Chain A
Amino acid sequence: MRRPVSASCALLQVRDLVTEFAGREGRLRAVDRVSFSLERGEILGLVGESGSGKSVTGFSIMGLVDAPGRIAGGSVKFDGVELVGMADGELRRLRGKRIAMIFQDPMMTLNPVLSIETQMLETVLAHDAVPRQEARRRAIEALGLVGIASPAERLAQYPHQFSGGMRQRVAIAIALLHRPDLIIADEPTTALDVTVQGQILYEMQRLVRESGAALVWITHDLAVVAGLADRVAVMYAGRIVEQGSTAEVLDAALHPYARGLLDSVPAANAAGGRLRQIPGMTPSLAHLPAGCAFRDRCAYADDACAAVPGITLRGSRQVRCHHPLFEAVS
């Protein structure tokens, strides 16, 4: 759209992405000028509360936004190739092959009436013309990689014979079949128990380190991101309000919303005392205040906030706020 691509080393470059949904209340901007980039081997945590647009951002990158939604602007460059406006057939050759997605509910990936073998072979054969024996070997290997015991026997089973955590492992194995360059994971551990979540985080971290794939981890849970991601982007009402390295953002968030979110986690407060809370509630996209979407709930808001804040840069950090909390950084 804008400047020609130079020899950039970023694997994924999202610039000014806008995704809109047409509804009775007019066109709603679920994703509003979102920009970020991702290198190979990097893990980005995309954090936000419900309705912040984090999942739609993931779907938009994958080209999975269906009517009444549409990508209304911006660009998504994957390895130098523009994905926005790409023909369906071409996109399909990338999806599942070089870009894979893992969903919150593994049953969104798995078909309940087909055996795991059928589903995994289908995925291999969709992109690679290899003999069935070879495809089977690769399926068994992938199941072993995600920590499923006796993968050859498990392959013949159906999804209902697996526990929730095991199903999610199968979904991850399917995503890994073609050794993708980019994995988009949409809350894959939210529905799992703590000990099982720990195991899956461990496997994902190991697999990404070994394969050099880039990972976008979409979640509402700041604590998960703290242990996993290299960089964090915080979304609010469709916009990325802050991004930077995990340590910088979590230790001293610059945006009042990100700061408020971190402060309201029980662990950040003295036990038994009152929790610091963000007043008000997450606004509906149909009734966003003009200017900064957070200003109704923000303690620092003033007249300047009636205009949409631009992005302020500080080192590698970006914050979209008129009154970033620089002074609080010691």
Chain B
Amino acid sequence: MTKPMLEFRDVTKRFEKPLDAIERIAGRLGAAVAGHTVHAVDRVSFTVHQGEVVGLVGESGCGKSTLGRLACGLHAPTEGGVFYQDIAVNGTPVRSVQMIFQDPHSSLNPRMRVEDIVGEAPRVHRLVPAAEVPDYVAQLLRRVGLDPSYRRRYPHQFSGGQRARIGIARALAVKPDFLVCDEAVAALDVSIQAQVLNLFMDLRESLGLTYLFISHDLGVVSHLSNRVVVMYLGRVVESAPTAELFAKPNHPYTQALLAEVPRLDRKNRSFAPIKGEIPSPLAPPPGCHFHPRCPHAMPRCAQEAPVLRQVAPGRVSACHLDA
């Protein structure tokens, strides 16, 4: 096994909204006022090894983006620790870990030229001598498939796919080893998405990058990643090598998720969906978070949160059915 690159050790992240003035007064007068706490990430542990592509999947509000931000040091964990090559990242960004954002409109400064967007970080970090920055930027733009003659342009002069490439060039500019891609292709059309995914695979090969690939799109994840981690309401419910997970999902939520994915080869199907919606992370159900929607729920599921257990070599799943 190659060495661990990024490690989450029992990471918990809670977001708390402080009481507002009226709630404080009501509290002082004796009313039962509780703060609003979102349990975005709840005791998550897993490791990404060098050269791996780990896909992180889940529906909205499952904490996958928060986990990505924790990996980059954009958030500090409330409890537990995030380690990059055994160095604690907890809230301090590491240059070797870079993030690629979902929305290429809002993550590029509209008033900066492409050469400044891409060239600013290497200049600030003194990665290349100031005189060589323009050449360096041109080289990066070529690497992501953009014509260096566009470098004086502004973001609005590019299409969505090109903007995604600018975001990638910006991340590569500081010579990272690890990329966190947060829904990096979700906003792109199918034909453009294929181009950008191919670029990700080429870069992985030529630069030896490791990826944490966050996506709600199981098709993209199954294509790209070696291992998949499935999250539901802040917890990891299953983690397995990609082929095994898609061939035989173990956790009832993973099974439901795979059954719901529209597929080209499933024509005129009768949709028979799982019940209910994702509960609010403000008030997650007790015990196993999935039990109100689970077809196999038993009394124990409402009381006791299942822990991750090994169900096969390299596979873990958190479900009482496996016990």
Q: Is B219 an interface residue (CB 8 A)?
A: yes
Smallest Cβ distance from A323 to chain B, in angstroms? 19
Find out whether the CB atom of B223 lies under 8 angstroms from the CB atom of A282.
Answer: no
A247 with B267: in contact, given A195-B257, A271-B243 (CB under 8 Å)?
A: yes
Find out whether the CB atom of A195 lies under 8 angstroms from the CB atom of B256.
Answer: yes
Q: Is B203 an interface residue (CB 8 A)?
A: no
Kindly state the interface size class of chain B when it binds its partner. Answer: 35 or more
Find out whether the CB atom of A274 lies under 8 angstroms from the CB atom of B266.
Answer: no
Find out whether the CB atom of A278 lies under 8 angstroms from the CB atom of B271.
Answer: no
Q: Mark B240-281, 1 if CB is under 8 A from A, else 0.
A: 001100000000000011011111111111111110011000
Q: Mark A261-285, 1 if CB is under 8 A from B, else 0.
A: 1101111110110111110011000
- Stretch of A63-71, A119-127, A221-229 contacting B (4+ beta carbons < 8 Å): A221-229
Find out whether the CB atom of B223 lies under 8 angstroms from the CB atom of A275.
Answer: yes
Residue numbers in B under 8 Å from A195 (CB-CB): 59, 256-257, 260, 273-274, 277-278
Residue numbers in B under 8 Å from A272 (CB-CB): 201, 223-224
Residue numbers in B under 8 Å from A260 (CB-CB): 191
- Stretch of A16-24, A91-99, A198-206 contacting B (4+ beta carbons < 8 Å): A198-206
Q: Is A39 an interface residue (CB 8 A)?
A: no
Residue numbers in B under 8 Å from A221 (CB-CB): 262
Smallest Cβ distance from B233 to chain A, in angstroms? 12
Residue numbers in B under 8 Å from A268 (CB-CB): 264
Q: Is B148 an interface residue (CB 8 A)?
A: no
Looking at the complex, which one of B193, B264, B271 makes contact with A267 (CB distance below 8 Å)? B264
Choose among B161, B189, B266, B269 the residue with the greatest number of A CB atoms under 10 Å from its CB.
Answer: B189
Q: Is A255 an interface residue (CB 8 A)?
A: no
CA distance A50 to B161 in the complex (A): 12
Find out whether the CB atom of A226 lies under 8 angstroms from the CB atom of B267.
Answer: yes
Smallest Cβ distance from B272 to chain A, in angstroms? 7
What count of chain A residues pass the 8 Å CB interface test? 45
Looking at the complex, which one of B195, B218, B224, B277 makes contact with A277 (CB distance below 8 Å)? B195
A163 with B271: in contact, given A49-B191, A261-B191, A277-B198 (CB under 8 Å)?
A: no
A278 with B191: in contact, given A193-B59, A194-B216, A267-B263 (CB under 8 Å)?
A: yes
Q: Quick one: which of A230-276 are within 8 Å of B by CB?
A: 230, 246-247, 250, 260-262, 264-269, 271-272, 274-276
Q: Is A58 an interface residue (CB 8 A)?
A: no
Find out whether the CB atom of B270 lies under 8 angstroms from the CB atom of A205.
Answer: yes
Looking at the complex, which one of B192, B259, B262, B278 makes contact with A193 (CB distance below 8 Å)? B278
Q: Is B222 an interface residue (CB 8 A)?
A: yes
Residue numbers in B under 8 Å from A274 (CB-CB): 198, 201
Q: Is A220 an interface residue (CB 8 A)?
A: yes
A266 with B271: in contact, given A227-B266, A260-B191, A275-B194 (CB under 8 Å)?
A: no
Smallest Cβ distance from B245 to chain A, in angstroms? 12
A227 with B195: in contact, given A222-B190, A266-B222 (CB under 8 Å)?
A: no
Looking at the complex, which one of A247, A264, A269 makes contact with B190 (CB distance below 8 Å)? A264
Find out whether the CB atom of A265 lies under 8 angstroms from the CB atom of B264.
Answer: yes
Looking at the complex, which one of B162, B268, B277 makes contact with A196 (CB distance below 8 Å)? B277
Q: Is A208 an interface residue (CB 8 A)?
A: no
Find out whether the CB atom of B194 lies under 8 angstroms from the CB atom of A278.
Answer: yes
Q: Is A152 an interface residue (CB 8 A)?
A: no
Residue numbers in A under 8 Å from B278 (CB-CB): 193, 195-196
Find out whether the CB atom of A227 lies under 8 angstroms from the CB atom of B272.
Answer: no
Q: Is B220 an interface residue (CB 8 A)?
A: yes
CA distance A54 to B59 in the complex (A): 27
Q: Mark B160-176, 1 if CB is under 8 A from A, else 0.
A: 11100000000000000
Q: Is A197 an interface residue (CB 8 A)?
A: yes
CA distance A167 to B270 in the complex (A): 23
Q: Is B107 an interface residue (CB 8 A)?
A: no
Smallest Cβ distance from A134 to chain B, in angstroms? 31
Q: Is A166 an interface residue (CB 8 A)?
A: yes
Looking at the complex, which one of B194, B198, B243, B262 makes contact with A227 (CB distance below 8 Å)? B262
Q: Quick one: which of A20-57 are within 8 Å of B by CB?
A: 49-50
Task: Give 5 pairs: A residue, B residue, CB < 8 Å, sorted on A.
Answer: A198-B260, A226-B262, A264-B193, A266-B220, A276-B194
> Which A residues fall within an 8 A CB radius of B?
49-50, 163, 165-166, 193-199, 201-202, 205, 220-224, 226-228, 230, 246-247, 250, 260-262, 264-269, 271-272, 274-278, 281-282
With A277-B198, A282-B159 already in contact, 19 other A-B pairs whose C-beta atoms are closer than 8 Å: A49-B190, A194-B218, A194-B260, A198-B262, A198-B273, A199-B273, A201-B273, A202-B270, A202-B271, A227-B262, A227-B266, A227-B269, A266-B194, A266-B219, A267-B219, A275-B223, A277-B191, A277-B194, A282-B191
Which 3 pairs across A and B sit closest by C-beta, in order of nearness? A202-B271, A264-B194, A266-B223
